[in-house]
Amino acid sequence: MDVTELLDQLNDAQREAVCAPSCNQLILAGAGSGKTRVLVHRIAWLMQVEHVAPYQIMAVTFTNKAAREMRERLTRLVGENYGANFGRGLWVGTFHGIAHRLLKSHWQEAGLLQNFQILDSEDQLRVIKRVYQELQLDDKKWPHRQAQYFINEQKDEGKRAQHLADSHDLYLATMKRVYVAYEQACERGGLVDFAELLLRSHELWLKKPDLLEHYQRRFNYILVDEFQDTNAVQYAWLRVLAGQSSYVTAVGDDDQSIYGWRGARIENIHHFSHDFSDTTTTRLEQNYRSTGTILAAANAVIANNTGRLGKKLWTSGKDGELIDLYTAFNEQDEARHIVDRIKTWVERGGNLKNTAILYRSNAQSRVLEEALFRENIAYRIYGGLRFYERLEIKNTLAYLRLIQNRNDDSGFERVVNTPTRGIGAKTTEALREIARDQGCSLYQASLHIIANKGLTVRATGALNGFLNLIDELDKEAEELSLGDLVDLVVKKSGLYEFHQNEKGERGQARVENLQELVNACRQYEHEDEELSPLEEFLDAAALDAGERQADEYEDAVQMMTLHSAKGLEFPLVFLAGVEENLFPHRMSADDPEKLEEERRLCYVGITRAMEKLILTHAESRRLYGEEKYNGISRFVREIPKDLVQEVRIKSSIARPTQFSNKNNFAFNENADEDFGELQLGQFVAHNKFGEGVILQFEGRGSSARVQVKFNSGGTKWLVLQYAKLQVLC
């Protein structure tokens, strides 16, 4: 592709970012503004026009999916000019993937075993449980996951156990003990968790200046996507690598920084221009996703946050439809309305997969799922268990890891008695004691206990059988392809027969997953000649398991939390439960920083909608076991009233009552016998809410409702047949 073709596809702001001279560059990319296109075209520009060699460029993303997409686009743009080896020189990957690549190449300098094993979240938890047993800690008092979170949080901040000060606080002192013992366990077993990948590679820069200088000379251009999501150690890693000679392009959006609870630091993108000299800033504000009305609403909401770098989304397209606001009298009514709107959408030719229901809390999904199920509408919960996180797949991978590395304690412990082969908890605990006392792996402890006849004849036979199985599989691995090896493992280990004998659909699903794993391995393309196909596949599987992206879906309604929705887009979006104490969350209302992150989350939710956005809230909601009466979310009140229409049963009110003053109500003048003697403006009393005045009527029969403004300050929609209102005058 020549230069003209490269730039013709870009708007003015995108072209400015792509063609910028060599410099540190901050690209503020609003939602739907084409940031991936800009990143890819920037790399292509550097190679085509600036004549930068592919091996001088590093591009960092946050998911393997994004990295693959970037590679594919680059190959289409400029691959033909560089031949088949184009992708080998260019480093494109996630922070964790690139850190892993560095540690694999420099394992000695990093103080690691050559065949170190990556721990995913579940295996990390398994190691922590073993550490608890060593320290004789009560997991009821100190939950395992609490320690896991603590350790990962410290690593994300760049802190080793030795960096933590001694504390008289019992919690901090206990967590430090766990961290120390956990580090020792990982060192013994050659285990590296996800947070360790970044921390260890950052320490590699600091401890080996010659190695750092080599990579600083190599990577003259570093491009980072989703910069607002970087944590402390990622930012430090990047700053050290860039040094004074490399040019960094940071692409991100401070208005979409929603992962503070996961360690992301919004201040990184705010401080970029200060920490990297001579930074130019480009704003991508033209949106190619949403209608003008949706963008105006998003701009109005996010404008209430302080300290923003500042931008305003716009579109050259149409304003589109107004945003619908539905006031439900409870969560069942809310769910019914959403289902009815989805049915109407499908009747008019829409697809279910183009519909998303977003919510702040997972607890909201149950009622929505039930309503969809009753109407036989297919749905998927986005972010369910991924393929490599499923039990039967993780068990198979554990066998494969033991074939590669006998000293993999987490893999050993997972499958030593899976399927059941007579190796009980007593035998396993004896192996742990030997491993602790001698500072060796569980595999080596097994050899020791057998040689010294430390088990019963039956237990010895069972353990010997397991060790022989691994040895036999290892021997077969030398002659078999990756696909044939995995096929042999699932059958010879007994996993296939074990799940085949399970009753019901779960067993069948597990068998099909094992078959799919064999298919995946048969189709796996081996790329790194320095690693065996098995090593490369296991590393790729572990990295995939650490991501939070969901699989491709069938034609079904997409249901997800707002946090899961980032990066996605749908023609029709429902934002459910826009109520105070739910969204914004009740834990954020009194914390200004958390409240601003909640508002950014609302901004993300609004900008997922392409054509139609529907907001719903309930006047009463049973949540967390209690009946809640929350007012409408402040985020809804921040949307200009001329962008919203309030939708009622069989009617639509152009001017929402929430935005009206007490002298300008939008009345329904069609009240009839369904409402008996009740009239607009009438004073009534309710046994729970006290006295108030009638504002509106709607619905018919059992759906008839009345809106009452109570003297206590609240305005409620009440189902007439249950309200039992007493007329006062």
What amino acid positions are annotated as catalytic residues?
35-36, 225-226, 256, 608
What CA–CA distance (Å, rounded) separates 633 from 577?
9
User: Cα 429 to chain center, whole Å?
Assistant: 36
- Going from the C-alpha of 581 to that of each of 311, 578, 631, the distances in angstroms are 29, 9, 9
- Going from the C-alpha of 13 to that of each of 19, 29, 99, 282, 428, the distances in angstroms are 10, 10, 32, 7, 62
Question: Is the link from the previous residue into 419 a cis peptide, with omega within 30 of 0?
Answer: yes
What CA–CA distance (Å, rounded) separates 272 from 267?
8
- Answer yes or no: are the C-beta atoms of 543 and 582 closer than 8 Å: no
- Nearest of 263, 266, 235 to residue 597 by alpha carbon: 266
Going by C-beta distance under 8 Å and a sequence separation of 6 or more, which residues neighbour residue 698?
Answer: 648, 649, 650, 651, 668, 704, 705, 707
Backbone angles phi, psi at 318, to 5 degrees: -80, 160
Q: Which amino acid appears at position 143 of this protein?
A: P
- Going from the C-alpha of 40 to that of each of 47, 54, 222, 611, 667, the distances in angstroms are 11, 13, 13, 27, 54
- Going from the C-alpha of 186 to that of each of 431, 439, 599, the distances in angstroms are 17, 11, 40
What CA–CA distance (Å, rounded) separates 413 from 125?
12
Q: Which amino acid appears at position 248 of this protein?
A: V
CB-based burial of residue 553 (10 Å sphere; 0-12 exposed, 13-18 middle, 19+ buried)? middle
What CA–CA distance (Å, rounded) separates 317 from 167?
59
Q: Tokens in use for 700? A: 């018919």
Pairing mode of beta strands 715-719, 705-710:
antiparallel
What CA–CA distance (Å, rounded) separates 587 from 576?
18
Q: Tokens in use for 693? A: 């005045």
- Going from the C-alpha of 511 to that of each of 403, 488, 496, 516, 550, the distances in angstroms are 22, 14, 6, 9, 21
Neighbours of 253 (CB within 10 A): 26
Q: Which amino acid appears at position 49 of this protein?
A: V
Q: Tokens in use for 555? A: 């034609």
Q: Any idea which residue has 């010879």 for tokens?
A: 492
Give ∠ CA 40-41-42 in degrees, rounded to 5. Answer: 90
What CA–CA distance (Å, rounded) separates 443 from 446?
5
